[in-house]
Structure 1
Amino acid sequence: MCGIAGIFHCGTPKPVEPHRVERMCDAIAHRGPDGSGVWTAPGVGLGHRRLSIIDLAGSPQPMHSVDGRAVLVFNGEIYNFRALRRELEAKGARFRTDGDSETILAAWQAWGPDCLSRLEGMFAFALYDLSTRQLFLARDRLGVKPLFTATLSDGSLIFASELKGLLAHPLMRSQVDSLAIEDYMTWGYVPDHRSILKGVEKLPAAHFRLLEHDRPPSPPRRWWDVSFEQRARGSVADQSAQLLHHFREGVSSRMVADVPLGAFLSGGVDSSSVVALMAEASREPVTSCSIGFDVAEVDETSHARLVAHRFGTDHRERIVSPGDVADLDRIAAIFDEPFADASALPTLRVCELARESVTVALSGDGADEALAGYRRQVFHHREEQARAVLPQTLRGPIFGALGKVWPKADWAPRPLRAKTTFLSLAEDGAAGYARALAILDQDARRRLYGEMLLRERGEYRAEDALIEVMDCAPARSGLDAAQYADLTFWLPGDILTKVDRTSMAVGLEAREPLLDHRLIEYCATLPESRRIRGRQGKWLMKHAMERYLPDEILYRPKQGFVTPLAEWFRGPLAGMARGVARSEALVGSGWFDRGALSRLAERHISGAADNGRVLYQLVMLEKSLARLGIG
């Protein structure tokens, strides 16, 4: 696991100053504390920061191919590199190291861009071929590893693992994209099709770019996709066995390391399953790490301890309290772009805890997206059944009218909070799912915005991008389309961004065994009844794991990695909540309305509404803009 950066002149191959690449790498030094390197040639410069995981002493980067015709900087892990190496050696390739980096160079020279389909792992890399004078940028299938790019005024294209790497270049400018604020206030993060700064792009997951000096920059090209268009046949027993096989393959392949290895353990189904299969595959006790809260309703440490005891892990835990919010400035610095998934704070804490004893930690991310484990997916599945029975001509007027008059009862028991369901049923499936996923709907956002943001936003609505993804999804049903959107829109933008930035901030490599692409591809073929049964999401996974985990882990209500924001903003952080209405960055810029922000905070503090998530969004937006020197 590492950080990469570089400069490429798409026109005339001007000299690249090595110190500029060094500055870009220094800005992301936390991603690779074990080594650094820079290589330049006419029109190109590649830089690398290394966190040593495999072949600790033998794979420095930038790495040259054996024949010297290609140079690589690489962030990630290729889990099948040994099998690939044997295949390439049979074709005549020679190797000087024992790591996975050199395998990418040989695979490029053997297969060109088609090498990507043979790589199993997580990666973002830049490879320069001196014989063809081409720069090859690539990102893994699910977007586990990030890559930012920007085109500068001198015609060069720069890239880096994090936005701060681009900002270290002297020609990079910080101008906020107003449409990114619309995206952020909708989703709580800036999705991969946009950046908080104008002129910055993110290479999408499962895409590559092939750049040449004498041609304009080419757009990204997709090299992999997951399809929900086929349905696997077989008994429950057969499909459980097949699913469990893929689980084991995903876990065992990610346990290869030359450094200490452990796991995150929340006490939920996914991380508990990973720990169970790690314990099955390991001769030594698994090191497990958990984070809890000082609010009992959201604390899961007792369930984590139950799993740790069951599998005899070397278990460590730590508690997060309101005092930890002092680290929000650090969170803003880690993410660069505004990021309002409040679980970033406990994720950072569990990464810090893990790093005290291991260098690699396995997580349970991915199963909810692949197997319909989110509550919103279960609700959407049931809503789609209703849509199939009631035509739009009936649904629209009836449920639309109910949704408008039904109170927004944040304080009520969940079954009585029907406003969102009614409004979703009045719409088609994609629009309804976008409404369910959004933190703030269009009307709520409009009430908060100032005149300047309303003017700059124009007709753009953040939901349209997600709706387009669902409408174009390779899917047979509404549930398929929702899961496809979660895998390609939500997962890389929110979940994987959170884990990458927090783990890399402390020099920890996080691996996602449940995002093995073969597992994802298999899950996409499962009948809907094997994904959702009754009100149970991830049904087949839970059934398959019954031999390992007790029912109180498998079938308790899903909780998630929840931070008690509502309680904190009504108590010790009430002053911070009120402060958003006085923010020069938010209000003085004309992006938000002062009175609307003040009412938002006071209604939350009084208990009249639950605006904790929105207040956190605004706090993190203010802090991120300050980090970018804006406001």
Structure 2
Amino acid sequence: MCGIAGIFHAETPKPVDPKRVERMCDAMVHRGPDGAGVWTDLGVGLGHRRLSIIDLAGSPQPMLSADERAVIVFNGEIYNFRELRAELARGGTRFRTSGDTEVILAAWQKWGAGCLERLDGMFAFALYDRAKRQLFLARDRFGVKPLFMTRLPDGGLAFASELKGLIAHPQMRRALDPHALDAYLTWGYVPDSHAILAGVTKLRAGNYLLLEQGKPMPKQRRWYDISFAERARGSEAELSAELIGRMRNAVQSRMVSDVPLGAFLSGGVDSSSVVALMSEASAHSVATCSIGFDVAAHDETTYAERVAAQFGTKHEARIVGKDDFGALAQIAAMFDEPFADASALPTWRVCQLAREKVTVALSGDGADEAFAGYRRQVFHHHEERVRGMLPEAFRESVFGGLGRVWPKADWAPRPLRAKATLLALAQGGDAGYASALAVMGSQVRHALYSSAFKRQLAGFRAEDELVGLMRKAPARSGLDRAQYADLTFWLPGDILTKIDRTSMSVSLEAREPLLDHRLVEFASSLPERMRVRGTTGKYLLKSAMGRYLPRDILYRSKQGFVTPIAEWMRGPLQGDVRAIAAGSALARSGLFDTSRIAQMAEDHIAGRSDHSRGLWQMLMLDVSLRRLGVWS
């Protein structure tokens, strides 16, 4: 795993200062502490920071092909590189190294952009073809590895694995993108369709960009998209057997490493499944680690310990407490863009714990998106049935009317919190799911915005992007469209961003076997009854793993990596919460109605409402934009 950066002049080739590329890479030294390199030619410069995982001594980057006609910088792992290497060798290719980087170079020279479809792995890379004067930027299917880009004032294109790599370039401008801010407050993260700084873009998951000197900047091209258009056939027993086989292959392919390897273990279905299959494939005890909380209702370490004992892993656990939020600035520094998924804190802590023993850790990320494991997906599945039975006008009149007058009872037991469900039923399925995903709805956000900021938005509404995505999805049902949105929007923007930044901040490589594209494609073809059965999501996965895991691990209520920030904000973090609306850079920005933010804070502290997620968003926004130099 590594960090990459570079500069490319397409329209007018200019010399590239290698010191600038080096500075961009050095800003990401945490991604690659084991080595560094820079290569330049007329109009192009490529830089690399290396974390050695495979072929520890033999694959330095930037790497030139044997004929020196192509050069690459690569961040990621190609799990089928040995099979590709053998195929290319049979065709006459001669290799000088034993790693995966040289295989990508050879695959490009053999198949061009078509090489991407043959790569099984996680990656973001930049490859310059000296003969064609082309720069090829590519990102993996689901967006496990990131790539940021910006046009510089001198016409060049700069790119880097993290935004901090771009900021290290002296020509980088730092102005806020208003649409990205609205998207951040909607979702709690800045999705791949935006970047918090104006003029910055992200190479989207499953996309590539092919630039050529002497030609104008092209648009991104999509080379991969997940489809829910087909349905698998077979009995539950047959589908379960196929599922286990695909999961076993995915886990085993990600256990190839020349450095110590372990796993994250939360005690939930997904990480426990990965650990079970790792233990089955390993002749040695698997190293596992977990994080707990000092609030008992949120602590799952006992479940992790049970799974660890069952499979005889070398397990370690650590507790996260309220004092850990003293690391707020460090968390903001990891992500650069504001990022309000509070589970980033425990994810960072578990990565730190893992790095004490291993350099590579397998995680259970991706299963909820692929197999319908989120509570919101199960609710949406049943809501779609109601929508299908009742006319739109009736739903809007009855459910919409009830939803508008129903109290927002955050304090009440879950069955009595009907407001969100009623309002969702009043809308179409796509709009209803967008509302379910949103941290802050449109009305709530606009009540917080100043008049001046509303004018900057010019009618932009972040939810519309997700609704449009769902309407165009290659899908057959509402559940399909919801999962498609989670896999293509939520997963790269939130989940994979979180695990990439927190793991790389401590020079740890995280691998996601449950995002093997063949496994996800199989999951997307499952009949709905194999994904959702009654109130149970991930039905087939849980059923299939019954031979490995106890029932109470498989079927207990999903908790996730939930951080108890609501309780902490009513306790030792009260001062931080109140400061958001008074004295902070955010309060002085002119973008918000600070009196409303102050009221949110007081209502939360008093226990009248739960505004913890919204207040956490504001807190992370303030810290992040001050670090980026947008606010003083």
Q: TM-score range by the shorter chain?
A: over 0.9
- 1:496 pairs with 2:508: no
> How big is the alpha-carbon RMSD for the aligned residues of Structure 1 and Structure 2?
0.6
Aligned to 2:270: 270
The alignment partner of 1:45 has SS state of strand
Q: Hey, what's the Cα distance between the residues in 1 that align with 2:519 and 2:2?
A: 25
Q: Hey, what's the Cα distance between the residues in 1 that align with 2:219 and 2:27?
A: 27
The alignment partner of 2:219 has SS state of coil
CA drift of 1:587 comes to 2.2
CA drift of 1:447 comes to 1.2
- 1:86 pairs with 2:86: yes
Deviations 1:44-75 (A, max 9, x none): 00000000000000000000101110000000
CA drift of 1:284 comes to 0.5
The alignment partner of 1:209 has SS state of strand
Aligned to 1:327: 327
CA drift of 1:583 comes to 4.1
Q: Hey, what's the Cα distance between the residues in 1 that align with 2:432 and 2:11?
A: 46
Q: Hey, what's the Cα distance between the residues in 2 that align with 1:269 and 1:419?
A: 30
The alignment partner of 2:275 has SS state of helix
Aligned to 2:170: 170
Asked whether the equivalents of residues 208 and 221 of structure 1 are also in contact (C-alpha less than 8 Å), the reply is: yes
Deviations 1:547-606 (A, max 9, x none): 000011000000000000110000000101101001442222111111001000000000
Taking the TM superposition and a 5 Å limit, the aligned residue runs for 1:140-539 are 140-539=140-539
Aligned to 1:114: 114
Deviations 1:388-433 (A, max 9, x none): 1001011011111000000000011111100000000000000000
CA drift of 1:11 comes to 1.3
Residue 521 of structure 2 aligns to which amino acid in structure 1? E
Q: Hey, what's the Cα distance between the residues in 2 that align with 1:440 and 1:39?
A: 45
Aligned to 1:65: 65
Q: Hey, what's the Cα distance between the residues in 2 that align with 1:584 and 1:320?
A: 27
CA drift of 1:630 comes to 2.3
Gaps of 5+ in 1: none
Count of residue pairs the alignment pairs up: 631
Asked whether the equivalents of residues 251 and 278 of structure 1 are also in contact (C-alpha less than 8 Å), the reply is: yes
- Report the identity percentage: 67
Deviations 1:113-154 (A, max 9, x none): 000000000000000000100000000000000000000110
Deviations 1:74-131 (A, max 9, x none): 0000000000000000111110000000000000000000000000000000000001
Q: Hey, what's the Cα distance between the residues in 2 that align with 1:180 and 1:327?
A: 25
CA drift of 1:178 comes to 1.0
Asked whether the equivalents of residues 583 and 622 of structure 1 are also in contact (C-alpha less than 8 Å), the reply is: no
Residue 514 of structure 2 aligns to which amino acid in structure 1? L
Aligned to 1:585: 585
Q: Hey, what's the Cα distance between the residues in 1 that align with 2:622 and 2:217?
A: 34
The alignment partner of 1:581 has SS state of coil
Aligned to 1:103: 103
Residue 60 of structure 2 aligns to which amino acid in structure 1? P
Deviations 1:420-454 (A, max 9, x none): 00000000000000000001111111111112221
Gaps of 5+ in 2: none
Residue 475 of structure 2 aligns to which amino acid in structure 1? A
Q: Hey, what's the Cα distance between the residues in 2 that align with 1:452 and 1:360?
A: 48
Q: Hey, what's the Cα distance between the residues in 2 that align with 1:199 and 1:584?
A: 26
Residue 294 of structure 2 aligns to which amino acid in structure 1? D
Asked whether the equivalents of residues 227 and 524 of structure 1 are also in contact (C-alpha less than 8 Å), the reply is: yes
Q: Hey, what's the Cα distance between the residues in 1 that align with 2:424 and 2:167?
A: 41
Deviations 1:282-340 (A, max 9, x none): 00000001000000001000000000000000000100000000011000011000000
Taking the TM superposition and a 5 Å limit, the aligned residue runs for 1:28-67 are 28-67=28-67
State the 4+ residue runs in structure 1 displaced beyond 2 angstroms: none
Q: Hey, what's the Cα distance between the residues in 1 that align with 2:387 and 2:616?
A: 34
Deviations 1:359-415 (A, max 9, x none): 000000000000000000000000000001001011011111000000000011111
Asked whether the equivalents of residues 38 and 46 of structure 1 are also in contact (C-alpha less than 8 Å), the reply is: yes
Asked whether the equivalents of residues 451 and 590 of structure 1 are also in contact (C-alpha less than 8 Å), the reply is: no
CA drift of 1:357 comes to 0.3
Q: Hey, what's the Cα distance between the residues in 2 that align with 1:594 and 1:198?
A: 24
Deviations 1:596-625 (A, max 9, x none): 010000000000000111111000000001
Q: Give TM-score, length-normalised by structure 2.
A: 0.99
Aligned to 1:7: 7
The alignment partner of 1:247 has SS state of helix
Q: Hey, what's the Cα distance between the residues in 1 that align with 2:448 and 2:275?
A: 44
Q: Give TM-score, length-normalised by structure 1.
A: 1.00
